[in-house]
Structure 1
Amino acid sequence: MISGSGGGLDGGANFTAEGLAPVLREACATAGLDYRGAELLRLGSNAVYRLTSLPVIVRIARDPAVLVEMERAVGVARWLESHDFPAMRAPASVVQPLVVGGLVVTFWESVQENEEYATVGELADLLRRLHWLEEPESLGLPYFDPLAKLAVSLEGLDGIPGEDRTFLEERAASLAKDYDRLDFVLPFGMIHGDASIGNILRHRNGHAVLIDLDGFALAPREWDLIQTAIFYDRYGWHTKAEYAEFVHRYSFDLMNWPGYETLADLRELMMVAWLGHQVTTSDRSAAEFARRVRSLRTGEGRDEWGPF
Structure 2
Amino acid sequence: MTTAPFSHELTRRIALLACEKAGLRAADRDLALIRLGENALFKVAAEGVVVRVARTLDYWPDVAREVAVSRWLHSAGLPAAEIVEAIDQPLAVDGHPVTIWRYIAGGPASYDRIGDLGALLRGLHRLTAPDELTRHDDDVLGRVQSRVELAPISEPDRVFLLRRLAELRDEVADLDYVLPPAVIHGDAHIKNVMVADGRAILIDFERAAYGQPEWDLGMTATEYSTAGWWRSDQYQAFVDGYGFDVTRWPGFPTVRSVHELKMTTWIMQRVRDSTDIAEEFASRMRTIRDRAPSTWNPW
Q: Same fold (TM over 0.5)?
A: yes
Q: Does 1:156 align with 2:147?
A: no
Aligned pairs for 1:174-253 within 5 A: 174-203=167-196, 205-253=197-245
Tell me what 2:114 maps to: 120
Pick closer, same or farther for the CA change 1:24–1:275 going to 2, 3 Å.
Answer: closer
Q: Which has the larger Rg?
A: 1
Match among 22, 25, 29 for residue 31 of structure 1: 22
Answering whether residue 42 of structure 2 is matched by residue 49 of structure 1, we say yes
Partner of 2:276: 284
Deviates more, 1:236-245 or 1:35-44: 35-44
Which of 265, 270, 281 in structure 2 is aligned with 1:273? Answer: 265
RMSD: 2.1
Distance 2:219 2:91 in 1: 32
Separation in 2 of the partners of 1:14 and 1:235? Answer: 26
Within 2, Cα distance between the matches of 1:21 and 1:253?
41
Identify the residue that residue 136 of structure 2 maps to in structure 1. 143
Aligned position for 2:82: 89
1:85–1:103 CA distance, 2 compared to 1 (3 A): same
CA contact (8 A) 2:109 2:200 kept: no
Residues 19-43 of structure 1 show CA distances to partners (whole Å, capped at 9, x for unaligned) of 4555333322332221132223333
Mapped contact 1:11–1:103 kept (Cα < 8 A): no
Q: Which runs of 5+ in 2 are unaligned?
A: none
Quickly say closer, same or farther: Cα 1:270–1:23, change in 2 above 3 A.
closer
Aligned to 1:68: 61
Q: What amino acid is the match of 2:128?
A: E
CA deviation vs aligned residue, 1:138-170 (integer Å, no higher than 9, x gap): x3435342245433333333x111112222222
User: What is the aligned partner in structure 1 of residue 127 from structure 2?
Assistant: 133
Find the aligned partners of 2:6 and 2:118 in 1 and give their Cα distance: 40
- The one-letter code of the counterpart of 2:162 is E
Distance, in Å, in 1 between the alignment partners of 2:61 and 2:90 is 9
Amino acid at match of 1:155: E
Structure 1 window deviating more from structure 2 (277-286 vs 109-118): it is: 109-118
Question: 3-state SS of the aligned residue for 1:136?
Answer: coil
Q: Take 2:251 and 2:108, find their aligned partners in 1: how far apart are those partners?
A: 35
Extract unaligned runs of 5+ from structure 1.
1-7
Deviations 1:224-270 (A, max 9, x none): 00011121122221111111111122111111101111111121112
After alignment, is 219-228 or 32-41 more displaced?
32-41
- Quick one: distance in 1 between partners of 2:108 and 2:244? 29
1:220 is matched by which residue type in structure 2?
Q
Question: Is 1:299 aligned with 2:284?
Answer: no
Comparing 232-241 and 24-33, the one that deviates more = 24-33
1:15 offset after TM fit, Å?
Answer: 4.3
Q: Percent identity?
A: 36
Deviation at 1:81, TM superposition (A): 0.9
